[in-house]
Amino acid sequence: MNEADSQKLAAGLAKLGWEEAAKPDQADLAVVNTCVVRQKAEDRASSYLGHLRRLKETRDKGLQIAVMGCMVGPRTDDLRARFPYVDVWARPQSFEVVLRHILPESDLGGEFWPETFPEPNGPAAFVPVIHGCNKFCTYCIVPYRRGRERSRTIEEIAREVVSLCTKGVREVTLLGQTVEAYGKDLPADDSGRRPDLADLFGAIHETPGLNRIRFLTSYPRDMTESIIRSVAGLPKVCEHFNIPLQSGDNDVLAQMRRGYTIEEYVEWVHRIRDIVPDASMSTDVIVGFCGEAEEQFENTLRVLEDLRFDKVHVAAYSPRPGTIAWRHMEDTVPQAEKMRRLHAVEALQERIATELNAAFLDTTQEVLVEGQKEAEDGDTVYTGRNRANKLVHFRADGGHAPVAVGDLVPVRISKTTPWSLQGEAAAFAVVAA
Ligand code: SF4
C-alpha cells in the first residue's frame, strides 16, 4: 500500500514539474513514506531519518524532508520534538499536505487528483481499491492511522488500470487492508445492491494489455462465495489467496478480536479449495501475542501443518502504542521465546514449502518476467512469478523468441527450493493480451 501511495505522490509531483532524483543526495525533497505496523519497520524509518538529517546538515543546497504514512498520527507534537529537522508531516495518503508545503500556490482542485495516475515501474503494479479498515484487531495500528474503509469507485479504478496498461503494465494487484470489503461503503443501485470485488474483477477484466489480476489482503469474514466463484471463473484473475490466520488458537483469536474461530477459518479455506482446486494460498501469523501459552502456540503449528499454505509471513508480536492490546493487555512472552516460536514456524513452513514446490518439478509455468540480471557465468537470468505467485528464476538459451521484461513466458521447471522455482524458457511466441 505504501509503495502505491509513494507512486501516487510521485505522479502528483511530476505533474507539478518535479523529477525523480537518481539518489537522495541529489534531491531537493525527500519523502519518507513510513510503516509502523511492527517495531522493526518503525526503527528503520527512524534510522533513515537520521541518515537524511546528516545529509541535510552537510548540503549547501537545502534538502526538505517530508514524512508521510502511518508514523504520523493526528498529533505530531512528539514527532516534531524527536525529529526537529523534518519540514512537513503528512498522514497516510495526505499527498496534498506535502504538495502544498513545497508548492503552496498550486491548484490541486478539479481534475488534478482524479486524473493523476501513477507511473508504473515494471509490468506489475499495485492499485489501491479500498483504503482504511473498520476491524480494529487489538494489536493493529492501521485503523487509527489509515481511518475507516473507503472504496474508490469502479470507474476511477478502471481508468487507472487502463492508464497503467497503456504504459506496459500486464498485471495489477488490487489492494486493500481487507480487500473483500470493497464496495460495502459505495452507494447501492435501485435494487439495493452494492458493487463488490467480483464486480470490480469483471469491470477491469477486458482491459486491453492486461493479462493478470491479483488481490490482497483478504479478511476471512469478508470473503464471499461470489468472490471465490469469480476467481474460479475469470481467466485473468490469478488463483492466489492471501488470508491472514494470525493464530490457530480460539482464545488467542478472541484476544486479538479477529472476529472468527479457527473452525470457521478452516471451513473458508476448504470452501476456497473446493471451488478453486488449484488455488495457492499464503497467510500471516503473529507469534508471542499477549498471554500466548506454549500449547496455544502449538495449536497454530498444528493448523499450519494441516492447511499447508504455500507461504507463511510470520511476525513476532510487538506492542504498537495506541492499540487496544497496548492499552489493556500485557506483553507477557519474552522476546527470546517469541523468536523461538517464529523460527519454529519458519522451520515448519520451509518443510511444507519444499514439499509443495516439488510438485512443480517438470511442469511448465506461465511466468510474467519482472526483471533480469547477469549470472556469474555471464548468462542472463530472468525473474518473475507464475500465476500461483511463486518466484521463478529461469534462463532462456535460445530456440524461442527473445525474452524481455513484461513478457509472459512458459518456463519448464527443473529445480525447486522452498522459496523459488528454477527452469528454462520453453519454446514460445510473445502473446498479446
Ligand atoms: S483487519 Fe488487518 S488492517 Fe484491519 S485491524 Fe485487523 S489486522 Fe489491522
Q: Please tell me the predicted confidence (pLDDT) of residue 91.
A: 94
Any atom of ligand 1 within 6 Å of the Cβ of 142: yes
- CA distances in angstroms from 433 to 1, 163, 164, 170, 364, listed in the order given: 26, 15, 14, 8, 19
What is the rounded (10 degree) CA torsion for 222, 215, 144, 265?
A: 40
**Atom from ligand 1 closest to the CA of residue 134:** 4
351 CB neighbour count, 10 Å cutoff? 11
- Which residue's alpha carbon is at the smallest distance from atom 8 of ligand 1? 140
Q: Cα(246)–Cα(267) distance, rounded to whole angstroms?
A: 16
Any atom of ligand 1 within 6 Å of the Cβ of 219: yes
Any atom of ligand 1 within 6 Å of the Cβ of 140: yes
Any atom of ligand 1 within 6 Å of the Cβ of 178: yes
| Per-residue pLDDT band at 429 (split at 50, 70, 90) | low
Any atom of ligand 1 within 6 Å of the Cβ of 247: no
At residue 90, φ and ψ (nearest 5 deg) are -135, 130
Residue of 97, 52, 44 lying closest to 71 (CA atoms)? 44
pLDDT in tens, 167-186: 999 999 999 999 999 999 99
Q: Cα(323)–Cα(95) distance, rounded to whole angstroms?
A: 25
171 and 213 in contact (C-beta within 8 Å)? Answer: yes
DSSP letter, residue 373: E
Q: Cα(66)–Cα(86) distance, rounded to whole angstroms?
A: 6
pLDDT in tens, 289-342: 999 999 999 999 999 999 999 999 999 999 999 999 999 999 999 999 999 999
275 and 229 in contact (C-beta within 8 Å)? Answer: yes
Residue of 170, 6, 219, 32 lying closest to 95 (CA atoms)? 6
